[in-house]
């Protein structure tokens, strides 16, 4: 494998660690691409390397604008862990938290606040079923979802239930943002999914007028999940239903989980969304209950 672009000191920005700016010097949009917000998710890093190399080799050209590549959590990446002290994707909080990730979040936000960002693309992967999904910071129309994403799942309203993510930071910067779960951490298809969404973003922003990646055959229906609540882990937590998977229907009145202190009963017909059905000791959430609808891709 070629050297990681972020290991070349000559490419790095002087103003923020592990950041590279590719600027056409022509007025246009400013796209920020985050990779490794979670250290054990290399897909965004590989996609950023691939895109940057193609740009400098003139295999691809931007019409205008600039791209800022941020390798978000190098210490976690080096240890191949999700985070070192705190989930960076919950550390973008107004109140500063003095952890490794809290300091990094503060530095990133302070830097970007001066850079007139148009759009944030945050690339992740997941440990379950090779699931691909889109998470957005605003309530996009169905048309816009189809224009900017190729995932079978869209997640809305997550930002009302958690705090401190890159999506929240983007809102404070006044720009649009999407996070893409590109599939399983080890999926051979993940980098292709990441590059496809970079392509769609550049096209949407008017920075490119032709596509350099190909569309994928997808189911005609997209599942849109509106988060009703997070299932929070507490002592003695266990699921009370079998066959746990994303999309599982939980009819009204079903006892679906319990802990020593709480019973979880569906107050209406719900569907599960489970980024990780196997809990980690320091997980806060074990999943989400949602209202799900299907949307035609057209």
Residues 264-293 that bind Zn ion (CB under 5 A): none
Residues 150-169, mask of contacts with Zn ion (x by CB under 5 A)? --------------------
> Is residue 120 within 8 Å of residue 166, measured between CB atoms?
yes
Shortest Cβ distance from residue 101 to Zn ion (Å)? Answer: 13
Any residues with CB less than 8 A from the CB of 9 and at least 6 apart, and which?
A: none
* Cα atoms found within 13 Å of the Cα of residue 223, Cβ hemisphere only: 17
- Look at strands 270-273 and 249-250 and give their pairing: antiparallel
> And the tokens for 258?
């319990």
User: By C-beta, is 38 or 66 nearer to Zn ion?
Assistant: 38
* Cα atoms found within 13 Å of the Cα of residue 23, Cβ hemisphere only: 11
Instruction: Give the binding range for Zn ion (CB under 5 A) out of 23-31, 39-47, 148-156, 213-221.
Output: 39-47
Shortest Cβ distance from residue 7 to Zn ion (Å)? Answer: 22
User: By C-beta, is 19 or 87 nearer to Zn ion?
Assistant: 87
User: By C-beta, is 118 or 166 nearer to Zn ion?
Assistant: 166
User: By C-beta, is 18 or 41 nearer to Zn ion?
Assistant: 41
**Residue at shortest CB range from Zn ion:** 124
Shortest Cβ distance from residue 37 to Zn ion (Å)? Answer: 6
Residues 114-133 that bind Zn ion (CB under 5 A): 124
- Give the integer Cα–Cα distance in Å for 22 and 253: 54
User: By C-beta, is 124 or 156 nearer to Zn ion?
Assistant: 124
> Is residue 170 within 8 Å of residue 117, measured between CB atoms?
yes
Instruction: Give the binding range for Zn ion (CB under 5 A) out of 31-39, 101-109, 114-122, 262-270.
Output: 31-39
> Is residue 46 within 8 Å of residue 194, measured between CB atoms?
yes
Shortest Cβ distance from residue 40 to Zn ion (Å)? Answer: 8
Q: Is 171 exposed, middle or buried (0-12, 13-18, 19+ CB in 10 A)?
A: middle
Three-state DSSP string of 117-156: CCEEEEEEEECCCCCEEEEECCCCCHHHHHHHCCCCEEEE
User: By C-beta, is 38 or 192 nearer to Zn ion?
Assistant: 38
Instruction: Give the binding range for Zn ion (CB under 5 A) out of 12-20, 30-38, 108-116, 140-148.
Output: 30-38
- Secondary structure (3-state) at 211: coil
> And the tokens for 132?
């691909």
Shortest Cβ distance from residue 125 to Zn ion (Å)? Answer: 7
# chain residues binding Zn ion, by CB under 5 A: 3
Q: Which of 38, 156, 185, 192 binds Zn ion (CB under 5 A)?
A: 38
Which residues of the shown chain bind Zn ion in the complex (CB under 5 A)? 38, 41, 124
């Amino acid at each position: 494998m070629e050297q990681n672009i972020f290991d070349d000191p000559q490419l790095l920005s002087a103003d923020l660690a592990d950041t590279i700016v590719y600027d056409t010097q022509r007025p246009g949009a400013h796209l920020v691409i985050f990779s490794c917000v979670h250290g054990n998710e290399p897909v965004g890093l590989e996609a950023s390397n691939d895109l940057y190399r193609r740009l400098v080799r003139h295999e691809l050209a931007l019409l205008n604008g600039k791209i800022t590549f941020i390798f978000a959590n190098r210490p976690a990446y080096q240890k191949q862990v999700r985070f070192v002290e705190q989930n960076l994707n919950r550390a973008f909080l107004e109140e500063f938290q003095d952890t490794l990730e809290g300091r990094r979040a503060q530095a990133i936000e302070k830097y970007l606040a001066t850079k007139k960002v148009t759009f944030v693309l945050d690339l992740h992967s997941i440990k379950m079923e090779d699931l691909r999904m889109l998470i957005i910071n605003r309530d996009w129309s169905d048309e816009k979802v189809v224009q900017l994403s190729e995932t079978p799942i869209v997640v809305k309203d997550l930002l009302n239930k958690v705090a401190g993510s890159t999506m929240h930071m983007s809102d404070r910067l006044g720009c649009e943002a999407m996070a893409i779960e590109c599939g399983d951490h080890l999926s051979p298809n993940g980098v292709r999914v990441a590059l496809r969404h970079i392509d769609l973003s550049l096209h949407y922003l008017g920075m490119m007028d032709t596509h350099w990646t190909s569309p994928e055959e997808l189911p005609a229906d997209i599942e849109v999940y509106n988060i009703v609540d997070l299932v929070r882990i507490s002592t003695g937590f266990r699921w009370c239903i079998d066959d746990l998977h994303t999309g599982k229907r939980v009819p009204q009145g079903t006892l679906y989980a319990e802990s020593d202190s709480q019973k979880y009963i569906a107050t209406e017909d719900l569907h599960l969304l489970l980024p990780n059905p196997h809990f980690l000791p320091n997980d806060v959430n074990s999943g989400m209950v949602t209202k799900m609808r299907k949307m035609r891709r057209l």
